[in-house]
Amino acid sequence: MTAPGPATGEMMTPAAAMEHAKRVVARMLGKDAFSRWLGIEVVEISPSRVACAMTVRADMLNGFGVCHGGATFSLADSALAFVSNTHGRVAMSIDNQISYPAPAREGDRLTAVAQEDSQSGRLAFYRVEVKNQDGVLVAVFKGTVYKTKTDHFKAGE
Amino acid sequence: MTAPGPATGEMMTPAAAMEHAKRVVARMLGKDAFSRWLGIEVVEISPSRVACAMTVRADMLNGFGVCHGGATFSLADSALAFVSNTHGRVAMSIDNQISYPAPAREGDRLTAVAQEDSQSGRLAFYRVEVKNQDGVLVAVFKGTVYKTKTDHFKAGE
Amino acid sequence: MTAPGPATGEMMTPAAAMEHAKRVVARMLGKDAFSRWLGIEVVEISPSRVACAMTVRADMLNGFGVCHGGATFSLADSALAFVSNTHGRVAMSIDNQISYPAPAREGDRLTAVAQEDSQSGRLAFYRVEVKNQDGVLVAVFKGTVYKTKTDHFKAGE
Amino acid sequence: MTAPGPATGEMMTPAAAMEHAKRVVARMLGKDAFSRWLGIEVVEISPSRVACAMTVRADMLNGFGVCHGGATFSLADSALAFVSNTHGRVAMSIDNQISYPAPAREGDRLTAVAQEDSQSGRLAFYRVEVKNQDGVLVAVFKGTVYKTKTDHFKAGE
C-alpha cells in the first residue's frame, strides 16, 4: 500500500509518508518562535492527524484571569499548520473559526487534535478539538488551508 | 443626549459613558498578562469602537517566518474583548472567525479596529479589521459575545 | 438512568427524552414551510443527534448548474434547528459557519448529521456533516445556538 | 483610468469593466433557478459591490414562524456569488460565516449588500450585510472564494 509522494507525486509507502510528515513538522516547529514561546509540544503525528499540547501559564491569562482566547486559538492554529503541511507542500491558513464551550484555566494541560475532514486540489479542510486534562472540550476550531505548489524540501536540502 | 448606564440601566451622558468605557478597558488591560506580553496598546476607545496596536516581533513569527496567525488573532481578540466590555457588563467571546488576506511580517505595526455591528439583549456582534502600517488589510475578524449579568464595577469598588 | 427533563428540570427516562425529542421535531417540521419546500425529511432523531435528508432538485441549482450553497446550508441549518431544540427549550441559531469541500449535483441524495459538541447554560455548540449518497463530504457546518427560557410545550398544549 | 480586463489580463476602461460585470451577473442569474425561486433581484452592480433584494414569503418561514436562516443565507450567498464573479473568472465559494443579530419576518424586504474586503491571486474575501426595509441588520455574512482560471466568456460566445 502506497500514498502519493508529497514532492513529486510519486508513490510513498505509509512508513515513508509518516517519516516525511515527522520531518516536515520538526522543521516547522524548529523555526516557529511563537509556538515555542507558548510551550507547544507535538505529541502525535500522522499524515492526516496531528496532536499538540500546551500548559496554560500565568502569562497566557486575559483580563478575566482565564486563558486568553488567543492562546487557545494559537495552540489549535499550530496544530492545523502542522497537519496541513505534513503532505509536503507549503499550506497557508485562509479561514479559521473557533468557539469556546468552556474556559481554560492556569495550569490546565490543553491538547489540540487536528484532523483532516477533506482535501482536494488546492484546498483542504480541518477540524481541531481542544480539550483539557479532564477531557472537557474548551474549544472547537475549523480551519481551511490553501496548498501552494511549493515543496517543503527541494532536491539537495 | 444620554445612553443606558452600564451597571444599573440608568441613563449616562455621552461623556460619562466614555469615561466608564476607559475605566473598564484600563482595568482589563491591567490584568491581561497575555496582551501585555504581545505589547498590545489601546490607541482608541469609545463605547462602540476600540482600536489596539501591536508591533510584530521576532518571537511572534511562525515556521514560515511570518507573523503567527495566533498572534494576529490575539490582537483582534483583545480589541473585541475591550470593545464588548465597554458597556460595563462582563462579556465573553463565544464565536470568532478570522481570515488572512495578506501576511504580516516582522516589524509591521498592526492596528486592529473593533466596531460593533449590532447588539441586543444578551448577545452582541462585532467586526474587527487588522491593517499594517501601509493600510494593507492583513486580517478580517468577526466576533460574537455573550453578555453576562455581572457588572465590571460593583458598589464600593 | 435519567436525563434532565426539558421543561421543568425534572428527570426523564431515556425513553421519555427520546419521545419528547420526536414530539418537538415533528411539531417544528410541521410548521417549517421552507424545509418542506426543500423536501427535507428527518431520518434520525435522538436528544443530541438528528439526521435530515434531501434530494437535490433542478430548482435548487445555482448559476453554475450545481446545488446552490444556500440549499445545502438550509439542510444543515434545519438539522441544527431540530437537534438544538430536542431538549425542549426554544433555541435560536446565532452563528453558523459552512465550508464546501465538494459540489452537490442534481439528483444527489444529501444527508446532514447534526451532532452536539457541547452545551452549557444558555449556549450549545454543534457540528453538522453533509454527505452525498456515495459518502462524499459536500459540506461541513458548525453552529452555535442560544437557548431561551421558553419551553416548546406549555401546560395544557 | 483602466482596470485589468477579466478574461485576458488586458486593461479595460471603468465603463467596460462595469458592462462586463453586468453581463456576467445577468448570465449567472439567468441560470440560477434557486435564486429565482427565492425571488432574488439584483438591484446594484459594480465590479466590487453587488446588492440583491428579496421579499420574505410565507414559504420561506421556519418552524418558529420567522424567516428560515437558510433563506437569509441564500440571499447573502447569491450576492457573494454575483460580486465575486464580476471580475470574469469563475469563482467558487469556499467558506461562509453568518450571524443573525435580528429575525426577519414575513413581508420583510431584505437587501444584501456584498462588498469586497480584499483580493489577491486565487482568493478573495467579502462582507455581506443584510438589512430589512427599516435598516435593521438581520444578518452579517463573511465569505471567502477561490478564483479558478476559467473565464465566464470564451472567444466566440
Read off the pLDDT band of C121 (50, 70, 90).
confident
pLDDT tens digits along A80-125? 999 999 988 899 999 999 999 999 999 999 999 999 999 988 999 9
pLDDT of B47 higher than 90: no
Q: How many domains does chain B have?
A: 1
Using CA of residue D57, residue D63, residue D66, residue D72, what is the dihedral sign? negative
Question: How many CA atoms lie less than 13 Å away from C39 in the CB half-sphere?
Answer: 15
pLDDT tens digits along C5-45? 444 455 788 888 889 899 999 999 999 999 999 999 999 99
Task: Classify residue D39: in a domain, yes or no.
Answer: yes
- For residues C137-146, give the mean pLDDT: 97
Query: Distance (Å, rounded) from C-alpha B37 to C-alpha A70?
Result: 12
Task: Classify residue D157: in a domain, yes or no.
Answer: no
pLDDT of A8 higher than 90: no
Contact criterion met (CB below 8 Å) for B87 and B120: no
Query: Distance (Å, rounded) from C-alpha C142 to C-alpha C151?
Result: 24
Q: Write down the pLDDT at residue A154.
A: 59
B101 contact residues in D (CB cutoff 8 A): 117-120, 123, 125
Task: Classify residue A157: in a domain, yes or no.
Answer: no
pLDDT of A137 higher than 70: yes
Task: Classify residue A156: in a domain, yes or no.
Answer: no
Query: Distance (Å, rounded) from C-alpha C83 to C-alpha C127?
Result: 11
C57 CA to chain B: closest CA distance, Å? 32
Residue B15, CA distances (Å) to B43, B45, C74, C154 in order:
18, 12, 45, 46
Hey, of B96, B123, B149, which one would you mutate to test binding to chain C, going by the most C CBs within 10 A of its CB?
B123
One-character DSSP codes across D31-63: H-HHHHHTT-EEEEEETTEEEEEEEPPGGGB-T
Q: Above pLDDT 70, what percent of chain B?
A: 90
Q: Give the dihedral of Cα atoms C41, C147, D71, C67; nearest 10 deg.
A: -50
What are the per-10-residue average pLDDT scores of chain D (157 residues)? 47 86 92 97 94 98 96 98 92 96 97 95 95 98 94 60
Q: Give the dihedral of Cα atoms A80, A82, A88, A89; nearest 10 deg.
A: 50
Q: Write down the pLDDT at residue C88.
A: 81
SS3 C101: coil
Neighbours of chain D (3+ CB pairs under 8 A): A, B, C
Query: Distance (Å, rounded) from C-alpha B57 to C-alpha B55?
Result: 6
Q: Write down the pLDDT at residue D88.
A: 81
Task: Classify residue A18: in a domain, yes or no.
Answer: yes
**Angle, helix B69-85 to helix B14-31, in steps of 10 degrees:** 140
Chain C contact for D11 (CB, 8 A cutoff) = no
Domain housing D28: 3-151
Considering only alpha carbons, which residue of chain B is nearest residue D123?
B101
Read off the pLDDT band of C153 (50, 70, 90).
confident
Q: Write down the pLDDT at residue D12.
A: 81
Task: Classify residue B156: in a domain, yes or no.
Answer: no
pLDDT tens digits along C106-118? 999 999 999 999 9
One-character DSSP codes across C7-55: TTS-EE-HHHHHHHHHHHHHHHHHH-HHHHHTT-EEEEEETTEEEEEEE
Bridge-based pairing state of the strands B41-46 and A109-120: unpaired
Q: Write down the pLDDT at residue A67.
A: 98
Read off the pLDDT band of A50 (50, 70, 90).
very high
pLDDT of B3 higher than 90: no
Q: Write down the pLDDT at residue D153.
A: 73
Read off the pLDDT band of B120 (50, 70, 90).
confident
Q: Write down the pLDDT at residue B151.
A: 86
Chain D contact for C2 (CB, 8 A cutoff) = no
- For residues C80-84, give the mean pLDDT: 97
- For residues C101-105, give the mean pLDDT: 97
Task: Classify residue B157: in a domain, yes or no.
Answer: no
Give the three cell numbers for residue D92.
Answer: 467558487
Backbone Cα Rg of chain C: 16
Chain A contact for B106 (CB, 8 A cutoff) = no
Query: Distance (Å, rounded) from C-alpha C20 to C-alpha C5?
Result: 9
Phi, psi (rounded to 5 degrees) for C131? -125, 155
Query: Distance (Å, rounded) from C-alpha D104 to C-alpha D87?
Result: 31
CB < 8 Å from C in window 116-135 of B? 122-123
CB within 8 Å of B115: residues ≥ 6 apart: B48, B49, B83, B126, B127, B128
Q: CATH number of the domain that B39 lies in?
A: 3.10.129.10
ipTM for this prediction: 0.92
pLDDT of A10 higher than 90: no
Q: Write down the pLDDT at residue B10.
A: 56
Q: Write down the pLDDT at residue D151.
A: 86
Contact criterion met (CB below 8 Å) for C34 and D70: yes
Neighbours of chain B (3+ CB pairs under 8 A): A, C, D
Query: Distance (Å, rounded) from C-alpha C70 to C-alpha C130?
Result: 13
Chain D contact for A36 (CB, 8 A cutoff) = no
First to last CA, chain C: 27
Task: Classify residue C156: in a domain, yes or no.
Answer: no
